[in-house]
């Protein structure tokens, strides 16, 4: 049963929304989303190091040579994502932003899973999946219609 995973990922969605709204608020408060993003990532890097240190074992980075260097660009993607969100949230609000993110995640998740890219288990698209995604995207459009 995947219900616990669904509940957990829903919780992560709540955390993501709050976290991004907090970062957007800092960017608006200091009137500089670029500096807010840099501050966010510095504090995040410290937190990540502390969390990583709790699981550190001898040879923890030994597998790094097997990692495609392109995959390490995820850090730049994350920083760019958070900067874009810190800039956009004061413009469109948390609701509009999260609805747009949701639409993008639905579409990209379908593609990644269909082709098995980036380690995702292959889940070929079926008509029912496409219909469900269309309903969800339609819901995003309706929810953000002004």
CB atoms inside a 10 Å sphere around CB 123: 14
pLDDT value for 114: 96
pLDDT value for 1: 55
For residues 131 and 144, what is the distance between their CA atoms, to the nearest angstrom?
A: 20
Give the containing element (helix H, strand E) for 30: none
* Tens digits of residue pLDDT in 74-98: 888 888 888 888 888 888 888 888 8
Q: Which residues of the chain have pLDDT under 50?
A: none
Which residues have CB under 8 Å from 144's CB, separation 6+?
95, 96, 99, 100
The values of phi and psi at residue 126, to 5°, are -120, 160
């Amino acid at each position: 049963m995947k219900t616990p995973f669904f509940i957990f990922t829903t919780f992560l969605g709540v955390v993501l929304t709050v976290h991004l709204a907090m970062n957007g608020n800092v960017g608006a408060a200091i009137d500089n989303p670029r500096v807010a993003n840099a501050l966010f990532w510095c504090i995040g890097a410290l937190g990540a190091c502390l969390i990583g240190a709790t699981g550190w074992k001898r040879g923890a980075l030994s597998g790094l040579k097997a990692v495609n260097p392109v995959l390490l660009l995820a850090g730049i993607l994350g920083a760019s994502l958070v900067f874009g969100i810190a800039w956009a949230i004061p413009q469109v609000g948390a609701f509009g932003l999260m609805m747009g993110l949701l639409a993008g995640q639905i579409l990209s998740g379908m593609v990644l899973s269909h082709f098995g890219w980036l380690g995702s288990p292959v889940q070929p698209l079926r008509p029912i999946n496409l219909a469900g995604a269309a309903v969800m995207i339609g819901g995003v459009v309706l929810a953000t219609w002004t």
